[in-house]
Structure 1
Amino acid sequence: MNSTTRFKLSFMMFLEFFIWGGWFVTLGTFLDKNLSASGPEIGSVFSTQSWGAIIAPFIIGLIADRYFNAEKILGVLHLIGAVLMYQMYNATDISVFYPYVFVYMVLYMPTLALVNSVSFNQMGDPEKEFSNIRIWGTIGWILAGVLISYFFHWDSQEASGNGALKNTFLMSAVASLGLGIFSFLLPKTPPKNKSTEKIKVSEILGLDALKLLKDKNFLIFFISSILICIPLAFYYQNANLFLSKIGMDNPTGKMTIGQVSEVLFLLAIPVFFKKFGFKKTILVGMLAWTVRYLLFAFGNAGELSFMLILGIALHGICYDFFFVSGQIYTNSKAGDKFKSSAQGLITLATYGVGMLIGFIVAGQITEIYKTNGVEDWKMIWSIPAGIAFVVFLLFSLLFNDKTKTESV
């Protein structure tokens, strides 16, 4: 890969995740403080991510893989996304905001697969080259959080109360417009399949891999993957709002510690896998969710603020040790025939079904434990901690797969 192509792919990945991190992290706080949204309404807005994940395979499988170049679809989706993001910036009521965010997420989620497709198409050895490109996405997400907290100060107590957080949508709209235009300069990525080939919806959704559920251990892993997404949804939906409401300075900037942690623990997975195996690795990931939420439940923005920072820093273990390990396990169980279908099925189950349930539950729980506009954060965080611990116990008792997964 020449340096020009490497720069284009890296910049594409940087903007892709800068856009997402530029508004999604502070979304819960914005909805609460600026649109006076209730818990269920906030949960409904966040669940648009799940609907996007469910619909995305159809856009990729029925359109991108068959008729048009991936970079052109990427450009069109981000140009439309810039307009929708600008409408979200102008929205003053949750009923006006929701339709725009719903359509936006349905269009944005497919771009996550498209940027990968454009990248892989230029690589001779994706296993070695992709991580060097993908890391720029994490850097983009981190920079968005740093700008919001330490440069613009939009998430400070005074600024967020005065509506400054709506500027995150304007920032992301500008970035989306930039990526939309830049996408047409990316290397050409023609469709993989001819339009004359017969379309199989089962392949698009990964349903061919349902045969793997006949394996008792894979079934337990599959169910656990859905269930663990319930506590995961609490973090995405409530973490920034929680840190902001208890008075932590620069909450969005501090949450980028989680992305730094994610990169570091990603490097630790091969070592952990080799020494302890899949079951122990994934159990550590599950237990980390329980520990994290207990730290949130009993920490504060004063003398116990270190507990909150530690809880944020556990994101690497929570995410990598469960989800990345799970992808590796799925890959090893599926075999060559069902590899793509199996990964599609797990993605649909977790980011689609699991997170959809999770956001609904998180919204309801947050509303139940709110009195006169004040949340009982100890209870709100203790419940997902309990859910994660139950999943941990069920998996540790029922999962007994002794086969070795392939090396990372």
Structure 2
Amino acid sequence: MNIKFKLTLMSFLQFFVWGAWLITVANYWFGTKNWSGAEFGAIFSTLGISSIVMPALTGIIADKWINAEKLYGILHILGGLALMYIPQVEDPTTFYYVIFAAMLCYMPTISLSNSIAYNILKTNNFDVVKVFPPIRVWGTVGFIAAMWITNLTGNKASYNMFYLSAIAAVILGIYSFTLPKCPPQKLIATDASLGEKLGLNAFKLFGTYKMALFFIFSMFLGGALQLTNMYGDVYLSEFSKVPEYSDSFVVKYSTIIMSISQISETLFILAIPFFLKRFGIKQVMLISMLAWVLRFGLFSFGNPVDGLWMIILSCIVYGMAFDFFNISGSLFVETTTDSKIRSSAQGLFMMMSNGFGAFFGGLISGIVIDKFFTHDGIRDWHSIWLAFAGYALIIAVLFAIFFKHKHNPEAVATVNH
């Protein structure tokens, strides 16, 4: 089998596993199980905790003791078994621990899949910069395909979404053992301290005002990154409670509508080099923050009939909001940190945004929605999205005022090249 095709299939299945349940789990939680909103926020916080704890640990294991593709396969099989158990769960506390176990296995496979692809492509003398992006795009296609299958088969509120995800995870786990070998690199010095092995030496960057500010803003914006993944599908589905919208396309095919967000991601990734060269990293990150304001604001005022254009535009804006922040933030770290701690610094950026940010964002949003915006079991989505938009706007204004960074087109061009 062609190496590029093998890696493309790996990328497709990697995100198919996630897309089968991530966007639709709220429908299962609120609709099928009728559990509370405060506890639901904790479910998404497991993504954050897993992103903080696991990637560094599995990175060390893959660097020193076990082939990366084998570790990758074992994690997917274990995660698949956890997902397969979810339909048997009858209380929210057990659900939390089972999904937490699944995420402890799944989240590190995202970075491992990149490492495996880079390793195999380099070993086979491929131009990684040229060849990897088209392979990675199939990951987004896999995510979209899983969303569509879940919706079109009538399972957007059914436990079958977890079976679909689990089967894909186990298949991917077994398939990974057929990939070319990625032996331990043993790049970590034997006399390195535990702090160095875990990348904790990058925390010294907090001693620099500019970097400390960057990481703090990354955490606060990271709190917004998963909010529409958490609540977007159930928000659209709950328009069914309004008689004039109950039979609308949006209600029936809410997951397909939400998939426009992922389609948008693939398009905005291609636009990033132009925006970075033209506006610079700070401006691109600010554009991302303002795009989050739009994302939430448009959801607040949209509806399935005369406000449908706002819902669709919100989904299109998502690609800019999500990608511009993640990629420009990563490039900022790449161009402003010492090469000796650059990998650790990238890990710290992910830890602050997708780790601590996602953890607090998931936890606090669930509590806030349950306490202030839910009345007699009915969620006030207009006010919920408006509150999220206000949160993103405050971050954007503070970032524009306090974060100082001079645009250097040459540094950006060098990284892009």
TM superposition score normalised by structure 2: 0.91
Given that 2:281 and 2:407 are in contact with CA atoms closer than 8 Å, whether structure 1 keeps it comes out as: no
The Cα shift of 1:118 comes to 1.1
The reply to whether residue 94 of structure 1 matches residue 97 of structure 2 is: no
The Cα shift of 1:6 comes to 1.1
Cα distance in structure 2, aligned partners of 1:328 and 1:58: 20
The reply to whether residue 197 of structure 1 matches residue 190 of structure 2 is: yes
The Cα shift of 1:199 comes to 4.8
Given that 2:224 and 2:392 are in contact with CA atoms closer than 8 Å, whether structure 1 keeps it comes out as: yes
The reply to whether residue 284 of structure 1 matches residue 287 of structure 2 is: yes
Given that 1:205 and 1:345 are in contact with CA atoms closer than 8 Å, whether structure 2 keeps it comes out as: no
Cα distance in structure 2, aligned partners of 1:200 and 1:403: 36
**Identity of counterpart residues, as a percentage?**
37
Cα distance in structure 1, aligned partners of 2:113 and 2:225: 25
The reply to whether residue 388 of structure 1 matches residue 392 of structure 2 is: yes
SS in structure 2 at match of 1:193 = coil
Q: 2:311 corresponds to which residue?
A: 308
Q: 1:144 corresponds to which residue?
A: 146
Aligned partner of 1:115: which letter? S
Q: 1:104 corresponds to which residue?
A: 102
Q: Cα–Cα, structure 1 residues 149 and 198, in superposed 2: closer, same or farther, change >3 Å?
A: same
Q: 1:355 corresponds to which residue?
A: 358
Aligned partner of 2:109: which letter? T
Aligned partner of 2:191: which letter? K
Deviation per residue, 1:362-392 (Å, 9 max, x gap): 1012102111110011111111111111110
Q: 1:188 corresponds to which residue?
A: 181
Q: 1:211 corresponds to which residue?
A: 204
Q: 1:121 corresponds to which residue?
A: 119
The Cα shift of 1:204 comes to 4.3
Cα distance in structure 2, aligned partners of 1:120 and 1:66: 17
Deviation per residue, 1:104-138 (Å, 9 max, x gap): 10111111121111111112332222112111111
The reply to whether residue 346 of structure 1 matches residue 339 of structure 2 is: no
Paired positions, count? 397
Please say which of residues 268-277 and 94-103 is displaced more in the overlay: 94-103
The Cα shift of 1:231 comes to 2.3
The Cα shift of 1:89 comes to 2.4
Q: 1:135 corresponds to which residue?
A: 137
Aligned partner of 1:374: which letter? I
Given that 1:29 and 1:240 are in contact with CA atoms closer than 8 Å, whether structure 2 keeps it comes out as: yes
Given that 1:81 and 1:107 are in contact with CA atoms closer than 8 Å, whether structure 2 keeps it comes out as: yes
Please say which of residues 170-179 and 26-35 is displaced more in the overlay: 26-35
Structure 1 spans left out of the alignment, 5+ residues = none
Q: Cα–Cα, structure 1 residues 203 and 252, in superposed 2: closer, same or farther, change >3 Å?
A: farther
Q: Cα–Cα, structure 1 residues 195 and 227, in superposed 2: closer, same or farther, change >3 Å?
A: closer
Q: Cα–Cα, structure 1 residues 134 and 326, in superposed 2: closer, same or farther, change >3 Å?
A: same
Cα distance in structure 2, aligned partners of 1:385 and 1:308: 14
Cα distance in structure 2, aligned partners of 1:278 and 1:51: 28
Deviation per residue, 1:288-318 (Å, 9 max, x gap): 1111111111111221121111111111110
Aligned partner of 2:354: which letter? Y
Aligned partner of 2:63: which letter? D
Structure 2 spans left out of the alignment, 5+ residues = 241-250
The reply to whether residue 297 of structure 1 matches residue 300 of structure 2 is: yes
Q: 1:153 corresponds to which residue?
A: 154
The reply to whether residue 10 of structure 1 matches residue 8 of structure 2 is: yes
Q: 2:22 corresponds to which residue?
A: 24
Deviation per residue, 1:52-81 (Å, 9 max, x gap): 101113432332221000111111111112
SS in structure 1 at match of 2:211 = helix
Q: 1:223 corresponds to which residue?
A: 216
TM superposition score normalised by structure 1: 0.93
SS in structure 1 at match of 2:191 = coil
Cα distance in structure 2, aligned partners of 1:378 and 1:205: 43
The Cα shift of 1:205 comes to 4.1
Choose the corresponding residue for 2:256, options 243, 246, 253: 253
Choose the corresponding residue for 1:372, options 348, 365, 376: 376
Q: Cα–Cα, structure 1 residues 4 and 258, in superposed 2: closer, same or farther, change >3 Å?
A: same
Given that 1:22 and 1:172 are in contact with CA atoms closer than 8 Å, whether structure 2 keeps it comes out as: yes
Cα distance in structure 2, aligned partners of 1:169 and 1:12: 19
Q: 2:248 corresponds to which residue?
A: none
Given that 2:279 and 2:407 are in contact with CA atoms closer than 8 Å, whether structure 1 keeps it comes out as: no
Given that 1:78 and 1:177 are in contact with CA atoms closer than 8 Å, whether structure 2 keeps it comes out as: yes
Q: Cα–Cα, structure 1 residues 200 and 131, in superposed 2: closer, same or farther, change >3 Å?
A: farther
Given that 1:297 and 1:378 are in contact with CA atoms closer than 8 Å, whether structure 2 keeps it comes out as: yes
Given that 1:287 and 1:392 are in contact with CA atoms closer than 8 Å, whether structure 2 keeps it comes out as: yes
Given that 1:297 and 1:377 are in contact with CA atoms closer than 8 Å, whether structure 2 keeps it comes out as: yes
Q: Cα–Cα, structure 1 residues 263 and 195, in superposed 2: closer, same or farther, change >3 Å?
A: closer
The Cα shift of 1:17 comes to 0.4
Deviation per residue, 1:236-266 (Å, 9 max, x gap): 2211111111132311111111111111111
Cα distance in structure 2, aligned partners of 1:24 and 1:299: 22
Given that 1:22 and 1:169 are in contact with CA atoms closer than 8 Å, whether structure 2 keeps it comes out as: yes
Q: 1:397 corresponds to which residue?
A: 401
Cα distance in structure 1, aligned partners of 2:284 and 2:319: 13
The Cα shift of 1:172 comes to 0.8
SS in structure 2 at match of 1:182 = helix
Q: 2:172 corresponds to which residue?
A: 179
Cα distance in structure 1, aligned partners of 2:211 and 2:60: 29
The reply to whether residue 57 of structure 1 matches residue 55 of structure 2 is: yes
The Cα shift of 1:232 comes to 2.3
Cα distance in structure 1, aligned partners of 2:183 and 2:326: 30
The Cα shift of 1:284 comes to 0.7
